[in-house]
Amino acid sequence: MINELLPPKRILMGPGPSDVHPHVLKSMVTPLLGHLDPAFLTIMDETMELLRQVYQTKNKATMAMSGTGSAGMETVFVNLIEPGDKVLIGVNGLFGERMVDVAERCGAEVIQVKAPWGQIIDPQQIKEMLQQHKNIKVVAVVHAETSTGVRQPLEEISHIVHEHEALFVCDMVTSLGGCPTDIDQVGVDAAYSGTQKCLSAPPGLAPVTFSARAVDVMAKRKQKVQSWYLDLSMIQAYWSEDSERFYHHTAPITMIYSLREALRLIVNEGLENVFARHKRYGDSLHAGLEAMGLSLLVEKEHRLSQLTSVNIPEGVDDLAVRKRLLEKYSLEIGGGLGELKGKVWRIGLMGYNARQENVTYMLAALEDVLKEENCNIEHGVALQAAEKLMNK
């Protein structure tokens, strides 16, 4: 006999999912509409409009794919790439590696530009590769590398990519709603994200956006997209204000309710205020961690506010600390992935969680658990160091 659902209440400060905004949770009990109901089509229109605002774009082709962030990645590659196309991918973390895997499964010839995990991709290396290999169709980088906490500057790369007439693709899973994405200003041709990080909705949808150039490239494909489920040539006729709204697959209605509400809250707060809030509490967390004597993986200039990788001090048991935080404080942080496994903790301050309470609770809980683990840190100084930056 399985009982009604009553899980423990966690505080989700790992790399995602992060806590869902209570208003967003509330929106999810809204009874369903049919996926072709005029009232639902209006909700889709509103969602597209809000999504454009949060992505900072006027791109018509801006919609939510019916899968998690990784389905967004797959959407971009299966639709832009045909077998034999050359793709240049910046790899400085797990999600760059994932792009390589996904692009290869589409039949792409992948060329990689690498950087050590925790550092940015060097635009000059992108330039060299574009000069060396002719006819590269797509250049892709991760804007906010969830596996490291690096924020990749995009402007210079975008300029180089467009000089070589390639399409510029960005993974924005952890950046959307947490820092400026500036799709139009930067000149990003395709981007994808998830709902479960800085948007503070549950995981399950992948917001994507495509420039007119990218839409044009898709329209000129010679072969069918290998994924029926993610084929934008059909999905664009459903997710579009001025089409006949052809049925493709049954849209995940409740998830779209949650996305609409999440975006609405962000737009109501004001994008600039939301970004400033992430920066304020990110800075204050960083100050607190450093005051405690901990070091951060990423140098200050390229650190994300919404996701911070902390180097695990020598001799400290990674799993024991995370387990203790979960059991004693019901607080989730993330471990390292891939080559950073066992080497870093990843702390998220995303969306609704980018607040004073979360910074204070995290620093207090971590200080206590590290003390229990006999880790040699400074005591009683983290909160003050953090608080100094909270009211700036």
Residue at 185: amino acid letter: Q
- Min dist. Cβ of residue 125 to its own copies (A): 25
Please choose, from the candidates 233, 190, 221, 228, the residue with its C-alpha nearest in 3D space to the C-alpha of residue 83.
Answer: 221
Rounded Cα distance, 305 and 349, in Å: 7
Backbone region of residue 388 per phi and psi (left: phi > 0; alpha: psi in -120 to 50; beta: other values): alpha
* 37 or 163: CB nearest its own copies: 37
Q: By C-beta, is 157 or 337 nearer to its own copies?
A: 337
- CB nearer to its own copies: give 227 or 311: 227
DSSP 21: P
Lookup result for tokens 């005029």:
38
What's the min distance (Å) between Cβ of 213 and its own copies? 25
Q: How far is the CB of 170 from its own copies (least distance, A)?
A: 18
CB nearer to its own copies: give 141 or 337.
337
Whole-angstrom Cα distance, residue 166 to residue 337? 31
How many Cα atoms sit within 13 Å of 27 on the Cβ side? 22
Output the smallest distance, CB 274 to its own copies, in A. Answer: 16
- Three-state SS string across 261-314, please? HHHHHHHHHCHHHHHHHHHHHHHHHHHHHHHCCCCECCCHHHECCCEEEEECCC
**Distance between CA atoms of residues 220 and 206, nearest Å:** 24
Q: Which is nearer to its own copies, 47 or 152 (CB)?
A: 47
| Residue 209, strand partner residues | 62, 191
Closer by beta carbon to its own copies, 27 or else 211: 27
Alpha carbon distance 343, 112 (integer Å): 25
Question: Least distance to its own copies from the beta carbon of 127, Å?
Answer: 29
CB 186, min distance to its own copies, A:
26
Is 113 or 331 the residue whose CB approaches its own copies more closely? 331
Least spacing, CB of residue 124 vs its own copies, in Å:
30
At residue 25, what is the residue type? L
Query: Does residue 277 contact residue 354 with C-beta atoms inside 8 Å?
Result: yes
